[in-house]
Amino acid sequence: MRKNEFLFKDNTEPHRLRTREMIKKYPEIKKLIGKNPNTIFVILSCVIIQVGVAYLLRNQAWWLAIIVAWCFGAFVGHTLFVTIHEVAHNLLFKSKNANTIAGIIANLPSFFPTSVSFQRYHLRHHSFQGVHELDADLPGYREARILGNSVIGKAFWLLIFPFLQVGRTFRLKEIKPIDKWVVINFASQVIFTASIWYFFGPVAILYMFASFMFSVGFHPLGGRWIQEHYLKDTEQETYSYYGVLNTIQFNIGYHNEHHDFPSIPWNKLPTLKKMAPDYYDTLESHKSWTRIWLRFIFDPKITLFSRIIRDKRGNLQVMDEAKPDMDIYKSIEKEKLVDAQ
C-alpha cells in the first residue's frame, strides 16, 4: 500500500457508473428510495439513554465515567452519529428543516455542535469523492505525513480524530458562511451541556464527552472510519462492513450500497444488497471493525496515505453537471435517476 503519498486515479469516482448500471438492470431499486421517519424514535431513545446514564454517574468517580463511556456510551454515541448521518441525507422527513432539527436533537449528548456542519461537508464527500480540495473525508497532507506512518501516530490520530475533522474543513473550497442553523446548533448545544453540568455535575459531562470521543476514534468502533475508504488489499475505493454490529448501528456498514444510493434509508440497505448480489457480493468487504481497527494501528502497510485521490479536473464534468451548492446532493441524485431511465 501507499506509504508516503496517496494513490492517484484519473477517473471519476466509481459509484456514479455503478448506480446507472444497477438501475437499468434492476429498476425495482427505485422503490427503495424514500424516508424513514421512525428514525426519530431511535434519536429520542438514545438521547434519553445518554441523559439517564449521565444522571446515574453524577456522583461517581471520574474513572468510572470513562469506563462506562468506553464499554457502553460509545455505542450509543455512535448510534446517534449514524442518525445524524441519516439526517445529512434528509432521510427522515420530507422537510429539510425538520431533518435539520432532528439532527440537532441527536447532537445534544455529543458535547460538540457538529450536526449542521457535518451535513454540509458530508454531502460534498459524496459528490466529490477523492477530490482533496472538496472532500473533507480525506486526510490533509501534513496530517498524513505527521501521524500516518507509525503505531503511536495512528493511535493518536484516532484519539483526536474529531478535532482533525474540524481542521480539514478549512482547506476546502466553497465553504458556506455561518447561517442560522449553525447558530441554533451551537446555542442548543451550549444550553443542553450547561444544563447537564448544572443539574448533574462535571462527571456527567465527562461521560458524554468521553462517549463522543470514543464513538468516533480510539475505540473498536473507530474501525468504521478505516473500513469505509482506506485501501485494504486491493485498489477498491469503498468497502462495506457486514458484521454483527450493523444490527445495533443501523446498517451504517453498508457503505458501498449507501454511496451508490444515498437516497435509500438505513433500513432498506440490506434489501438493496440482496437485489443486486452480482454487484455487491463480488466486492471486498470487512466483517470486523475491531480487526480493521487493530490492523490499521499496527500494520505498517496501512497508513493515512492509503486512500485514492483524483485531480479536480477528473471531476470537472461532475461539478458542471451538479452545479454545486447546498442542494448538490439532490441535483446529483436526480441526475443519476434521469440518466438511468
The pLDDT of residue 233 is 80
The lowest-confidence range among 63-72, 111-120, 248-257, 280-289 is 111-120
With cut-offs at 50, 70 and 90, classify the pLDDT of residue 176. low
Q: At what angle do helices 115-127 and 96-107 cross, to 10 degrees?
A: 120
Inter-CA distances, 154 with 130, 184, 232, 263, 296, Å: 21, 34, 16, 33, 8
Evaluate if residue 324 carries a pLDDT over 90.
no
Average pLDDT for 159-176: 83
How many domains is the chain partitioned into structurally?
A: 1
Q: What's the mean pLDDT when you consider all of the chain?
A: 89
With cut-offs at 50, 70 and 90, classify the pLDDT of residue 312. low
Single-letter code of the amino acid located at 112? F
The pLDDT of residue 232 is 85
**Cα four-point dihedral sign 311, 280, 233, 228:** positive
Q: Where are the alpha helices (DSSP H) in the chain?
A: 15-25, 39-56, 62-68, 74-88, 96-107, 115-127, 141-147, 151-159, 161-168, 180-200, 202-215, 223-229, 255-260, 269-275, 277-280, 289-298, 316-322, 328-340
d(CA 192, CA 195): 5
The pLDDT of residue 122 is 92
User: Of 22, 25, 38, whose CA–CA distance to 86 is shortest?
Assistant: 38
Residue 341 is assigned to a structural domain of this protein = no
Residue 1 is assigned to a structural domain of this protein = no
Inter-CA distances, 165 with 29, 127, 161, 212, 336, Å: 33, 18, 6, 14, 29
* DSSP at 71: I
Evaluate if residue 330 carries a pLDDT over 60.
no
Average pLDDT for 187-198: 97
> Which domain, by its residues, includes 277?
7-335
Evaluate if residue 248 carries a pLDDT over 90.
yes
Burial of 72 (0-12, 13-18, 19+ CB in 10 A): middle
Residue 2 is assigned to a structural domain of this protein = no
With cut-offs at 50, 70 and 90, classify the pLDDT of residue 174. low
The dihedrals phi and psi of 310, each to the nearest 5 degrees, come to -140, 150
The pLDDT of residue 264 is 97
Residue 32 is assigned to a structural domain of this protein = yes
d(CA 221, CA 237): 20
Evaluate if residue 52 carries a pLDDT over 60.
yes
The pLDDT of residue 341 is 37
Residue 29 is assigned to a structural domain of this protein = yes
Residue 108 is assigned to a structural domain of this protein = yes
The pLDDT of residue 311 is 78
* DSSP at 150: S
pTM of the model: 0.89
Residue 153 is assigned to a structural domain of this protein = yes
Average pLDDT for 120-125: 90
Chain Cα centroid distance, residue 251: 12
